[in-house]
Amino acid sequence: MVGKHYRRLLEQCKIRMDRFEKEYPAPREDFQALLKERGVSRRDFLKWTSFMTAALMLPPIFKPMVTRAAENFSRLPVVWLHFAECTGCSEAFLRSSYPNVDDILLETISLEYHETIMAAAGDQAEKCLEDCIHHFPGKYVCVIEGAIPQGLNGQFMRLGPKGETGVQIGKKVTSKAAATICIGSCAIWGGIPSARPNPTDAVGVSKALGISTVNIAGCPPNTVNFTGTLLYFIMFGAMPPLDGQGRPIWAYGKRVHDFCERRPHYDAGEFVEQWGDEGARRGWCLYKVGCKGPYTFANCPHLRFNDHISWPVMAGHGCIGCTESGFWDTMAPYEKPIHEATFGGGERTVDKIGTVLTVATVAGVAAHGVLSAMRHGRTDKKDGTTTGAGKE
Amino acid sequence: MEAVVPKKHWTVAIRINHWAMAFAIFVLIGTGFLIAYPVTVPGGETWQKFSVGYIRFVHILFGMFLALLFLWRVYLAFFSTFRADWKDLLAFTNIPNTVQQIKFYLLIDKKGPPHTGLYGPMQSLAYLGLFGMVFLIVVTGIILMGAGYGAGFTALLYGILKPVERLMGGLAMVRYIHHVLTWGFVLFIVVHVYMAFWYDAVLKQGTLSSMVSGYMFEKGDH
CB atoms within 10 A of CB A22: 7
Note the pLDDT tens digit of each residue in A258-273.
999 999 999 999 999 9
Q: Which CATH code fits A256-340?
A: 4.10.480.10
Q: What is the mean pLDDT of residues A146-154?
A: 89
Q: Percent of chain B scored above 90 by pLDDT?
A: 53
Q: What is the mean pLDDT of residues B184-196?
A: 94
The predicted structure's pLDDT at residue A386: 37
CB pairs under 8 A between A and B: 137
Q: What is the mean pLDDT of residues B162-174?
A: 90
Q: What is the mean pLDDT of residues A43-52?
A: 90
Q: Min CA distance, A331 vs chain B (Å)?
A: 6
Pairwise CA distance, residues B164 & A154, whole Å: 31
CATH of the domain at B37: 1.20.950.20
Looking at CATH, the fold of the domain delimited by A4-250 is given as Rossmann fold (3.40.50)
Q: How far, rounded to the nearest angstrom, does the alpha carbon of residue A207 sit from its chain's CA centroid?
A: 16
Pairwise CA distance, residues A363 & B194, whole Å: 11
Note the pLDDT tens digit of each residue in A270-303.
999 999 999 999 999 999 999 999 999 999 998 8
pLDDT at B149 over 90: no
Q: Which of A69, A100, A78 is nearest to A305 (CA)?
A: A100
Note the pLDDT tens digit of each residue in A218-262.
999 988 898 889 889 989 988 899 988 899 999 998 899 999 999
Which runs of consecutive H residues, i.e. helices, occur in chain A? 4-23, 31-37, 42-55, 63-71, 88-94, 101-108, 122-135, 166-174, 184-189, 205-209, 223-236, 249-252, 263-268, 278-281, 300-303, 312-315, 327-330, 350-383
Q: What does pTM read for this prediction? A: 0.88
More reliable by pLDDT, A242 or A93: A242
Contact residues on chain B for A244, CB-CB shorter than 8 A: 162-163, 165-166
Q: Quick one: which H or E segment has residue A199?
A: none
pLDDT at A107 over 80: no
What single string gives the DSSP state of each residue in A66-109? HHHHHHTGGGSEEEEEE-BS-SHHHHHHH--SS--HHHHHHHHS
The predicted structure's pLDDT at residue B1: 53
Structural domain harbouring B71: 4-219
Q: What is the mean pLDDT of residues B77-88?
A: 87
Pairwise CA distance, residues A168 & A172, whole Å: 6
Cβ pair B170:A375 closer than 8 A:
no
Contact residues on chain B for A245, CB-CB shorter than 8 A: 166
Pairwise CA distance, residues A228 & A70, whole Å: 10
The predicted structure's pLDDT at residue A383: 44
Tell me if B217 sits within 8 A of B4, measured CB to CB: yes
Note the pLDDT tens digit of each residue in A117-145.
788 888 888 888 888 888 888 888 899 99
pLDDT at B157 over 60: yes
CB-based contact, B164 to chain A, within 8 Å: no
Complex ipTM above 0.95? no
Q: Tell me how many domains chain B contains.
A: 1
Q: Percent of chain A scored above 70 by pLDDT?
A: 94
Pairwise CA distance, residues B55 & B59, whole Å: 6
> Picking from A7-16, A181-190, A343-352, B176-185, which range would have the lowest pLDDT averaged per residue?
A343-352
Cβ pair B36:A337 closer than 8 A:
yes
Q: Min CA distance, A392 vs chain B (Å)?
A: 7
Crossing angle (nearest 10°) for helices A350-383 and B171-203:
10
Pairwise CA distance, residues A390 & B12, whole Å: 26
> What mean pLDDT is reported for chain A?
86
pLDDT at A192 over 50: yes
The predicted structure's pLDDT at residue A384: 39
What is the domain partition of chain A in residue ranges? 4-250, 256-340
